Amino acid sequence: METLLEQIESGKLWQFPGGIHPPEQKSLSNQAAIGSLPLPEYLVLPLKQHIGANGQLLVNKGDHVLKGQVLTQPGTNWSLPIHAPTSGTITDIKPMPSAHPSAMPELSIVLTPDGDDTWCELETRESLDGLDNKALIDIIHHAGIAGMGGAGFPTYVKADSAKTIEYLVVNGVECEPYITADDMLMREHAKDIIRGMEVMMSILSPQYALVGIEDNKPEAFAAMQQAAKHNSKILVRSIPTKYPSGGEKQLIKVLTSKEVPSGGIPADVGVLVQNVGTLFAVSEAVYEGKPLIERVVTVTGNTIHKPQNVWALLGTEVKHLIYSQGFTPVEDQRVIMGGPMMGFTLPTVRIPVVKTTNCILAPDNQELAVAGQEQACIRCSACADACPQTLLPQQLQWFAKGQEYDKLEEYNLFDCIECGACSYVCPSEIPLVQYYRVAKAEIREQKLEKVKAERAKERFEARKARLEREQEERQNRHKRPARSAPAKDKAKVSEALERVKQKRPEQSAVQAAIERAKAKKAEGDTSALEPDNSAVALERAKRKEQARKYKEEKAGSNTSSAPKDAVAAAIARAKAKKAAQAADSIESQEQDPRKAAVAAAIARAKAKKSGDEPKQGSEDDPRKAAVAAAIARAKAKKAEQAPEQNSVSGSDDVKADDPRKAAVAAAIARAKAKKAAKGDKPATEAVVKDEPEDPRKAAVAAAIARAKAKKAAKEAEQVEEPISEDEPEDPRKAAVAAAIARAKAKKAAKEAEQVEEPISENEPEDPRKAAVAAAIARAKAKKAAKEAEHVEEPVAENEPEDPRKAAVAAAIARAKAKKAAKEAEQVKEPIVENEPEDPRKAAVAAAIARAKAKKAAKEAEQKEKPIVDDKTEEDVSSDSDTQTEALSPEDKRKAAIRAAVERAKAKKKAQEQEGNDLS
């Protein structure tokens, strides 16, 4: 097995796949020697004629320069200088159309020749003696030499390769049809090219220099072989003519069998490729001291009278070039810079020749037919057969059309060298290369955007983290006082209750009790529902039935006389408890009417256990409750033997004269209940004690609560504010409601529910059930959203101090409730219907309505919230003190109006719903 080196030495060539054989058309322009042109009127020298950065201007407008004088100073970043191609005056420095498919303007120096063509001083040398690599690279750099095959890569950068170069490949292939610039250069200047090669070889010290020349240029091949005879390290190879064997990657494959890795450069496989034109320029720079100021350009095509290669000064306009060779434009004339396969059409002929311009092609429409209509791809895959990169152009085309960029990359779009072979062979005349160019550009852009977006995201996340941190800190600051407060809170609650009781006379004491009970019951129901959705239908049916029963019972029990009611309620409670003793350990305690009261207290306490039920109690009319309690107690005592515990007796005593005391007693009872249940006593006691103490703290807590509430539920705010307005009368109630909501949420505990259920059943009247239901809804919401709880709790704490806030909190709770427990609403609705009279019920109804509205239409939420407000308004009737802080009087009015409207709506809705539910 021969080594690669031996194979190369023996002249072995490899093949690349694909490739095409378009008409060569080279004989048009390679029959005459390289001609020269008359000096043009002016030269346009773009500062940038290569890949890399501009040099810095060294001349000013009006300066006179000599031929070969440097015009720009190279800086870093692959920048190259440009030189004056002839002596003359700088007449302008401005952006001019450049040699680019879009003729995008580039800063250019306009030089008007003086006609003398006077050289500046040139440093010539006979040999490389005394020049180290750095000096040579410097010379190449300052001569402004860039790759002259097309890409324009700065030659000094390549020469300065950090990697070991095994093979210097010299590209004399010139596979593009029509172009003969390199061909003629090799024929006429083979020696100089070889000298240039030797310069590069002395810098890079490769094992071999391989010259590739297509076998359609026998003269050039012979000339090069002759010139290279003396150097055994230079191997001149004639390679089969096939487009695009002059492509860098293809030539490397043909001459060395190596493949440049995807995304890599030839140096990665120890190869460096130079174009013969570049090497000629290197030779001129090193030996003659001449910078790169002119190059060979093929001017050809059927519209050119004298197609030929010419020495063109850089900066010569295409117009000068083609008219000097004789040019007769045809219809739809195209002027192509470069060859027919990879060149680009010029939008104007006033574009200068630059370092990479190897051909100006002005074809007529017969020799290069104008592209036809694109037809459907028939998947013949002639393109794949032609592709020198073994891509699947046909598949790429589908993906490009579908903008499937991932797929495009998967199918190696970026390995496409845009040689145009696929488009050339496509029977459907699909402009494949154009599709790829567009897709590449889009992918590049997307990647850029992605990078940008990622940066933005990072920034955003950093900011978010910071804000969260800050918020947390703030919350922590607020929480500490809030937590220390619960005892106080409760105290406040009970205080509030007391006050309320005083204010509010008899009517609904019983109702309050009932309400509480019902709420509990409803809760129980709903909680039962929650776990099992499948049972929902069944439950609903049950509920309906219950609702009916309630109605009947209500009618029977006749709520009108308050005391009776209270008594009845108490009795009912007691009975219920009795009946349900077995079920509930708690209930079993109360054989007796008093006990009923106590039981109520206990129940409340239990609620507190998990949370805040006492507040619930406050919801109903506290006074009535107190009264009822008193009555119940009295009866109980009378009827009864064993007066229960301190709490009961105490409360009895007090109640007669002082409703407040009753409230206090109730609180105590509750506390005791708790104790019994939990052993929580100290806390409750503390609560009681604390109550009166510290209104300021409460205020603070209220503030915190407000803040939290706002944060947590911004949508809810709207709802809440109106609510607060509406409940001017009874701010405490709102507070209570909030508390209840909280409590329920906490409940979670199932025993509590059990207690509640029986109770609720017993209470026939039940206007307040609606209220209860609302509370339940709220509670559920809380359950669902536990994080929200702390927000609400502080609110509750604040209650006494800041009723409005409490109201707000209540509203929030309600809102949440709606969201979380949709089934619960169904329960409540029927209830609501039954109690048209009672304002509290209206409140409840409002809650329900809200909930329903949310369910049905989430956008409608805003509407519903006002509804809520209105109802509360109804029952409470407006009171100016309690109005929301937030709202101005005008707002209030508006709110009132809205409220009215909403009320109407709510009622309608409620009716409808009831109809639905009951029917």
Partner 1 sequence: MKLTMASSPHNHSLKSVNKLMICVMLACVPGILVQSYFFGIGVFIQLALALTTVSLAEAAMLKLRGRPIWPTLSDGSAWLTGVLIAVSVPPLAPWWVVVIGACFAIVIVKQLYGGLGFNLFNPAMAAYVLLLISFPVQMTAWLPIQSLLNAPITLFDQITLIFTEATYSGLSLEQARQVIDGATGATPLDHVKTAMGQSLTVQEAMDNSAFTRFAGEGWQWVNLAYLLGGLYLLKAKVINWHIPVAMIASLAVCSLFGYLLGGQAGIAFHLLSGATMIGAFFIATDPVSASTTNKGRLIYGALIGLLVYLIRQFGGYPDAVAFSVLLLNMAVPLIDHYTQPRTYGHGAKK
What is the footprint of partner 1 within residues 327-356 (CB under 8 A)?
Answer: 329, 332-336, 338, 340-349
Percent of the chain as helix, strand, coil, to the nearest 5: 60, 10, 35
Instruction: Please state the closest distance from residue 318 (CB atom) to partner 1, in A.
Output: 10
**Please, which residue, 334 or 609, has the CB nearer to partner 1?**
334
Pairing of strands 294-300, 359-361: parallel
160 burial (CB, 10 Å; 0-12 / 13-18 / 19+) is middle
Cα 327 to chain centroid, rounded: 57
Residue ranges in 22-41 that form contacts with partner 1 under rule CB under 8 A: 22-23
Instruction: Please state the closest distance from residue 88 (CB atom) to partner 1, in A.
Output: 27
| Window contacting partner 1 (CB under 8 A); options: 111-119, 326-334, 541-549, 891-899 | 326-334
Instruction: Please state the closest distance from residue 419 (CB atom) to partner 1, in A.
Output: 8
The count of residues interacting with partner 1 (CB under 8 A) is: 73
258 Rama sector, left if φ>0, alpha if ψ -120 to 50, beta otherwise: beta
Residue ranges in 783-822 that form contacts with partner 1 under rule CB under 8 A: none
Q: Which of 376, 537, 582, 642 binds partner 1 (CB under 8 A)?
A: 376
CA distance 755 to 587: 7
User: Is there binding between residue 764 and partner 1 (CB under 8 A)?
Assistant: no
User: Is there binding between residue 830 and partner 1 (CB under 8 A)?
Assistant: no
**Please, which residue, 118 or 434, has the CB nearer to partner 1?**
434
**Please, which residue, 10 or 373, has the CB nearer to partner 1?**
373
Could you give the dihedral angle defined by the CA atoms of residues 687, 693, 695 and 699, in that order, rounded to the nearest 10 degrees? Answer: -50
CA distance 209 to 200: 10
| Window contacting partner 1 (CB under 8 A); options: 167-175, 364-372, 589-597, 656-664 | 364-372
Instruction: Please state the closest distance from residue 361 (CB atom) to partner 1, in A.
Output: 8
User: Is there binding between residue 718 and partner 1 (CB under 8 A)?
Assistant: no
Q: Which of 4, 33, 380, 462 binds partner 1 (CB under 8 A)?
A: 380
**Please, which residue, 40 or 722, has the CB nearer to partner 1?**
40
Instruction: Please state the closest distance from residue 394 (CB atom) to partner 1, in A.
Output: 6
Residue ranges in 551-610 that form contacts with partner 1 under rule CB under 8 A: none
Mention every residue, 6+ apart, whose C-beta is less than 8 A from residue 838. 508, 511, 767, 768, 875
CB-CB neighbours of 393 under 10 Å = 30
User: Is there binding between residue 324 and partner 1 (CB under 8 A)?
Assistant: no
Mention every residue, 6+ apart, whose C-beta is less than 8 A from residue 38. 324
Token pair 């072979």 in the structure block, residue: 421
Q: 3-class secondary structure for 103-169?
A: CCEEEEEEEEECCCCCECCCCCCCCCCCCCHHHHHHHHHHCCCECCCCCCCEHHHHHCCCCCCCEEE
Residue ranges in 162-221 that form contacts with partner 1 under rule CB under 8 A: 177
Adjacent-strand bridge partners of 118: none
Instruction: Please state the closest distance from residue 246 (CB atom) to partner 1, in A.
Output: 14
Mention every residue, 6+ apart, whose C-beta is less than 8 A from residue 609. 674, 677, 678, 680, 749, 752
Q: What SS3 state is found at 275?
A: strand
User: Is there binding between residue 734 and partner 1 (CB under 8 A)?
Assistant: no
**Please, which residue, 266 or 617, has the CB nearer to partner 1?**
266
Whether the Cβ atoms of residue 740 and residue 519 lie closer than 8 Å to each other: yes
In which order are the strands placed within the sheet that holds 308-313? 35-36, 308-313, 294-300, 359-361, 336-337, 344-345
Instruction: Please state the closest distance from residue 3 (CB atom) to partner 1, in A.
Output: 21
Q: Which of 305, 379, 452, 681 binds partner 1 (CB under 8 A)?
A: 379
User: Is there binding between residue 395 and partner 1 (CB under 8 A)?
Assistant: yes
Q: Which of 114, 117, 385, 404 binds partner 1 (CB under 8 A)?
A: 385
Q: What SS3 state is found at 912?
A: helix
Cα 632 to chain centroid, rounded: 64
Q: Which of 60, 127, 373, 476 binds partner 1 (CB under 8 A)?
A: 373
Q: What SS3 state is found at 272?
A: strand
CA distance 318 to 244: 26
CA distance 755 to 758: 6
Instruction: Please state the closest distance from residue 396 (CB atom) to partner 1, in A.
Output: 11
Q: Which of 40, 68, 144, 363 binds partner 1 (CB under 8 A)?
A: 363
In which order are the strands placed within the sheet that holds 234-239? 234-239, 208-214, 167-171, 271-275
User: Is there binding between residue 77 and partner 1 (CB under 8 A)?
Assistant: no
**Please, which residue, 10 or 102, has the CB nearer to partner 1?**
102
CA distance 850 to 117: 93
**Please, which residue, 370 or 639, has the CB nearer to partner 1?**
370
Query: In the numeric block, which tokens belong to residue 255?
Result: 């001459």
CA distance 810 to 699: 17
CA distance 137 to 653: 112
Instruction: Draw the binding track, 402-441, toward partner 1 (x: CB under 8 A; -: no contact).
Output: ---------xx--x--x-xx-xxxxxxx-x-xx--x----
The continuous run of DSSP H or E covering 96 comes out as strand 88-97
Q: Which of 120, 392, 686, 896 binds partner 1 (CB under 8 A)?
A: 392
Entry field: residues in the chain: 919
CA distance 185 to 280: 8
**Please, which residue, 285 or 360, has the CB nearer to partner 1?**
360
Sequence-ordered strand ranges (E) for 114-221: 167-171, 208-214
274, HSE (Cβ side, Cα atoms, 13 Å): 31
Residue ranges in 247-276 that form contacts with partner 1 under rule CB under 8 A: 249, 253, 259-264
Instruction: Please state the closest distance from residue 316 (CB atom) to partner 1, in A.
Output: 17
Q: Which of 162, 369, 537, 582 binds partner 1 (CB under 8 A)?
A: 369
Q: Which of 72, 171, 389, 508 binds partner 1 (CB under 8 A)?
A: 389
Instruction: Please state the closest distance from residue 459 (CB atom) to partner 1, in A.
Output: 37
Residue ranges in 841-870 that form contacts with partner 1 under rule CB under 8 A: none
Q: Which of 238, 274, 298, 394 binds partner 1 (CB under 8 A)?
A: 394
User: Is there binding between residue 54 and partner 1 (CB under 8 A)?
Assistant: no
**Please, which residue, 151 or 465, has the CB nearer to partner 1?**
151
Instruction: Please state the closest distance from residue 906 (CB atom) to partner 1, in A.
Output: 56
Instruction: Please state the closest distance from residue 242 (CB atom) to partner 1, in A.
Output: 14
Instruction: Please state the closest distance from residue 313 (CB atom) to partner 1, in A.
Output: 23
Token pair 């057969």 in the structure block, residue: 385
CA distance 611 to 523: 14
User: Is there binding between residue 377 and partner 1 (CB under 8 A)?
Assistant: yes
Pairing of strands 72-73, 56-57: antiparallel
Instruction: Please state the closest distance from residue 27 (CB atom) to partner 1, in A.
Output: 16
**Please, which residue, 249 or 674, has the CB nearer to partner 1?**
249
CB-CB neighbours of 101 under 10 Å = 12
Residue ranges in 442-471 that form contacts with partner 1 under rule CB under 8 A: none
Instruction: Please state the closest distance from residue 20 (CB atom) to partner 1, in A.
Output: 7
| Window contacting partner 1 (CB under 8 A); options: 15-23, 135-143, 165-173, 842-850 | 15-23
Instruction: Please state the closest distance from residue 7 (CB atom) to partner 1, in A.
Output: 20
Instruction: Please state the closest distance from residue 368 (CB atom) to partner 1, in A.
Output: 5
Peptide bond before residue 486 is cis, with ω within 30 degrees of 0: no
